[in-house]
Structure 1
Amino acid sequence: MTELFDCTDPEQRATGLASAVSALKGGRLVVLPTDTVYGIGADAFDSEAVAALLSAKGRGRDMPVPVLVGSWHTIDGLVYTVPRAARELIEAFWPGALSLVVRQAPSLQWDLGDAHGTVMLRMPLHPVAIELLREVGPMAVSSANISGRPAALTAADARAQLGDLVEVYLDSGPSEQQAASTIVDLTGVHPKILRTGPVGADAVAEVLGVNAESLLTD
């Protein structure tokens, strides 16, 4: 049965987080608030749960699921080698609205879709999300909407689209940024911005010591 918890109420927040942890460990899906938009999440290491997430969104394996982490240090176990550029951007913008595409550690036993040895990582700037991530570990999280429809900015938006496909909805009020994260690809010779968002190209360029134009062109 689907449950929604008001995380602005301390008692409901504690109960909701416990329910979300139980659901995730049981291979089920949850909706959680982040600083950008609401996300639909699963245990990143549960391939059946990740497949259920893709199915719930109506999304194919050609669009692999990003991973949210609860601390900077988590990425050291997920990435083959952490590029210098990644560490600089993490120090500047995490937790926050910047996602990084990097080469994953080849030993990882997960299936996020057809990611071709890469993974997109982010540490969100939201206390409910961070608390959940620190309890369950890395989560496969995508925007909480049916593919092709607007991203959910509230838990009610997400529930209207995803309904009973999700077991637990954590409601923390409207998303702060109300826009998906900026994505920077660090898997090539030069960093590239794949999607512009709350963190602007000029801010990324300043941290990396490059021209903003070079981040936006092939």
Structure 2
Amino acid sequence: MTICEILPATDAQDPALALLRAGQVIAIPTETVYGLAGDATNGVAVARIFEAKGRPRFNPLIAHVADMSMAESIGIFDPLSRKLAEAFWPGPLTLVVALRPDAGIHPLATAGLSTIALRMPRGFGAGLIAALGRPLAAPSANSSGKISATSAEAVRADLGEKIPLVVDAGSTPVGLESTILKVEDGGLRLLRPGGVPAEEIERVAGRPVDRHRRGNVESPGMLASHYAPGAAVRLCAGEVGPGEALLAFGPIRAKDADKALAILNLSDGGDLREAATNLFSYLKALDASGAKVIAVEPIPMQGLGEAINDRLSRAAAPRDMPLARS
């Protein structure tokens, strides 16, 4: 059995680098959620990511970079993708661009696609990638399809028997995975809503974002059933049924909320950023309450609400649905 160590970020860079250089995978903090990181150029490391997560092989991984120089050595940036990178990097935006033939990214990380999903993180991950000198493949540090981890302890509870190290930088500030965007025929297509609201992207780009989803998997986070607790999830709940837990939002409660097995409020004041930060940890806590169903109060669709509703709809989807469709 693997002995999983948790180290504070202030002490973890050298041990983390040693493990990554040896082809191991570790969990690291980012501003979005904790990531399960391995050298994206090392096939053994990438295979270990899939193994630890139990992840479908056709689902591609994001390659995390330290700077634009590293990004441009991997992907080919059209003018609009470059403009968005300059506006939002480092930060919670992933851009899908054409893959350079000589990029060195292992084919397992791209699922055989001719494109690559790239992101430049803030914080510990940025310094680690710069010190390593190679990009890190780093999907969310949780078993595939389950709730993403926003704390080091949540990672160890899920993956502690499969990885040797979790780097602890406290709770992640954004709490949602990155927005994934692709420039296509001069337009913008949203592949996954996330930490950067689509409205902010539209303001910078000066054009609308196409939210229509195709049936094929083009990037991470496009499976219909994803981010799921063990309990069933019931959306837009106007009342609470017997034995249900309640994921609340804002100051007004669903009918019979006082009868809920457990209640957690994403944001008492209806703040979507606070709600995003709390989403995964609150789902996990309600799942641990023993309820077989988690009822979720309605959440607005604007701003980060779009990403929150996306994650909740995937958590509520039938567990055997292979693809996200519009």
Q: TM-score, normalised by structure 2?
A: 0.61
- The separation in 1 between residues aligned to 2:113 and 2:185, in whole angstroms, is 13
- Residue 199 of structure 2 corresponds to 202
Secondary structure, counterpart of 2:177 in structure 1: coil
Question: What is the CA distance between 1:141 and its match in structure 2?
Answer: 0.6
Asked whether the equivalents of residues 110 and 116 of structure 2 are also in contact (C-alpha less than 8 Å), the reply is: no
- Residue 2 (structure 1) aligned with residue 4 (structure 2): yes
Q: 1:188, CA displacement in angstroms?
A: 5.0
Q: Give the drift of 1:34.
A: 0.2
Measured in 2, the distance between the counterparts of 1:155 and 1:73 equals 30
Q: Deviations over 1:104-133 (max 9, x none)?
A: 10123322141411111001122x111101
1:73 to 56, 69, 76: 69
Q: One-letter code of the match for 2:178?
A: S
**1:95-114 mapped onto 2 (5 Å cutoff):** 95-109=90-104, 110-111=106-107, 112-114=109-111
Contact 1:192-1:216 within 8 A present in 2 as well: yes
> How big is each residue's C-alpha offset from its partner over 1:151-172, in whole Å with a ceiling of 9 and x where there is no partner?
0000111111111321221000
Q: CA RMSD in A?
A: 1.4
2:19 to 10, 23, 34: 23
Structure 1 residue runs of 4+, over 6 Å off?
none
Q: CA deviation at 1:149?
A: 0.7
Is the 1:101–1:185 contact (alpha carbons within 8 Å) kept by the matching residues of 2? yes
* Cα distance change, pair 25–4 in 1 and its aligned pair in 2 (3 A): same
Q: Which has the higher contact order (CA 8 A, sep 6+)?
A: 1
Shift of 1:45: 0.6
User: Could you tell me whether the CA contact under 8 Å between 1:61 and 1:113 is conserved in 2?
Assistant: no
User: Unpaired segments of 5 or more residues in structure 1?
Assistant: 8-12
Unpaired stretches in structure 2, ≥5 consecutive residues: 214-326
Higher percent of residues as helix: 1
Q: 1:7-38 deviations in whole A, cap 9, x for unaligned?
A: 2xxxxx23x11000000000001100000000
Q: Residue 190 of structure 2: which of 190, 193, 197 is its match?
A: 193
Alignment of 1:1-218 (within 5 A): 1-7=3-9, 13-14=10-11, 16-79=12-75, 81-109=76-104, 110-111=106-107, 112-126=109-123, 128-136=124-132, 137-187=134-184, 189-212=186-209, 215-217=210-212
After superposition, the C-alpha distances for 1:156-207 in whole angstroms (9 at most, x for unaligned) are 1111111132122100000000111111012555220111112111111111
Measured at CA, do residues 210 and 189 of structure 1 come closer, stay the same or move farther in structure 2, by a change above 3 Å?
closer
Q: Distance in 2 between matches of 1:187 and 1:41?
A: 28
Tell me the matched-pair count: 208
Residue type at the aligned position of 1:208: A
Structure 2 letter corresponding to 1:172: A
Whose radius of gyration is greater, 1 or 2?
2
Where 1:164 maps in the other structure, the secondary structure is coil
